[in-house]
Structure 1
Amino acid sequence: MGFIEIVIIGVGLAMDAFAVSVCKGLSTRKLEWKHALICGGYFGAFQGLMPLIGYILGVQFKNKIENIDHWIAFILLGLIGINMIKEAFSEEEENCVPDFSFKAMLPLAVATSIDALAIGVTFAFLNVNIVYAVIVIAVTTLIISMTGVKIGHVFGSKYKSKAEITGGVILILMGLKILLEHLGLLIL
């Protein structure tokens, strides 16, 4: 898996963090750089840490299921993508509080990075350079989250659901690409 594909996956994974960052920016009356850095730091760190944990777990099972690993990647990415799209259309209103404390940010960082854990399992089956992937995903999320805080502060929640839909579609398409490549139906 190349740089562009990892960045695309990173962008897809970062959309939940972007949506929460937009919410944080929206709720902040006086935006400071530290707010964007806190969001970007938490979300970037956890989006990088979770694939590493997933990768370590996935390597344990790799030899046992390598004949169906492409199907597992397709199903995991597809389910994560569908869930993101479903959340975008949900009527449920997120609780958006201008709190950037450890106590407030830690659960948000964990919640927005659970999908990345499953991606890490997928990476184990695809023989991805995990250190490289973790760095790319973490930096991508850092930048997107910091941008989300600023966009939320300036434009409000206008882009939140669009970001979740975009992220979901990206992950579904990446899962489909992996499946088609392994089945020999797509050559890039």
Structure 2
Amino acid sequence: MDYATTQFGQLVTITVMSVALGMDAFSLSVGIGMKGVRRFDIARISGLIAIFHILMPLLGMFTGLYVGHLLGAIARYVSGGLLVLLGAHMVWASFREEGARPIDHTRLWGVVLFALSVSVDSFSVGVSLGMFRSSLLLTVLTFGFFGGLMSVVGLWLGSRVGRNLGDYGEALGGAILLAFGLMFIF
């Protein structure tokens, strides 16, 4: 029973973190969706975001395993600190007045840069999760699924709703990561 409880807790934690990281993709996708996107664009952008949300945490987890091995007992505090910093940065960035530079979602290079930019946070979270030795396959597939799903929802809603929705989504995602970081530290 204890093993099942631990596995369920890990699944819930990874799912909530995946949604929190997907909020970044969601918030920026709302802005792109406001420019108007076709179904093909939604599939292409979301597919690339899902791929990068798999690759970046995968690289981060391998890095985290190595760093966790080097740091030993203090890895928990370092990984929690990384989540706190990342969450605080996401909250702060969501309320800055500067607008993000728009990308050309009709060109492959623009979509690749966009997908990479919304997936960089996944690398940092992957480092933290690697130090905790969480399930590799479960983590990267969940991150990819929610990254892609949140971008589909953001692109679709962006074509129908205002930009403020995206700002609040990124702030919420940052607050969730900040809370997990504090939970890991304390």
Q: Structure 1 residue 119 and structure 2 residue 131: aligned? A: no
Residue ranges of structure 2 left out of the alignment (5+ in a row)? 1-8
Tell me the secondary structure at the aligned position of residue 101 of structure 2.
coil
Aligned residue runs from structure 1 range 81-92, under 5 A: 81-92=87-98
Q: C-alpha distance in 1, partners of 2:39/2:11?
A: 29
Q: C-alpha distance in 1, partners of 2:84/2:169?
A: 17
Tell me the secondary structure at the aligned position of residue 172 of structure 1.
helix
Q: C-alpha distance in 2, partners of 1:93/1:122?
A: 29
Deviates more, 1:143-152 or 1:98-107: 98-107
* Aligned residue type for 2:140: V
Q: Structure 1 residue 27 and structure 2 residue 7: aligned? A: no
Q: C-alpha distance in 1, partners of 2:183/2:147?
A: 22
Paired residue for 2:53?
Answer: 47
Q: C-alpha distance in 1, partners of 2:95/2:158?
A: 19
Kept in 2, the 8 Å contact 1:38–1:100? The answer is no
Count of residues in Structure 1 that have an aligned counterpart in Structure 2: 178
Residue ranges of structure 1 left out of the alignment (5+ in a row)? 181-188
- The percent identity for this pair of structures is 25
Q: C-alpha distance in 2, partners of 1:37/1:83?
A: 29
Deviation per residue, 1:68-94 (Å, 9 max, x gap): 111111111111111111111111112
Tell me the secondary structure at the aligned position of residue 86 of structure 1.
helix
Kept in 2, the 8 Å contact 1:27–1:96? The answer is no
Aligned residue runs from structure 1 range 1-188, under 5 A: 2-28=10-36, 31-97=37-103, 99-180=105-186
TM superposition shift of 1:97:
4.8
Q: C-alpha distance in 2, partners of 1:55/1:158?
A: 33
| Greater helix share, structure number | 2
* Aligned residue type for 1:146: V
Tell me the secondary structure at the aligned position of residue 37 of structure 1.
helix
Q: C-alpha distance in 1, partners of 2:140/2:88?
A: 23
CA RMSD, 1 decimal: 1.4
Kept in 1, the 8 Å contact 2:64–2:128? The answer is yes
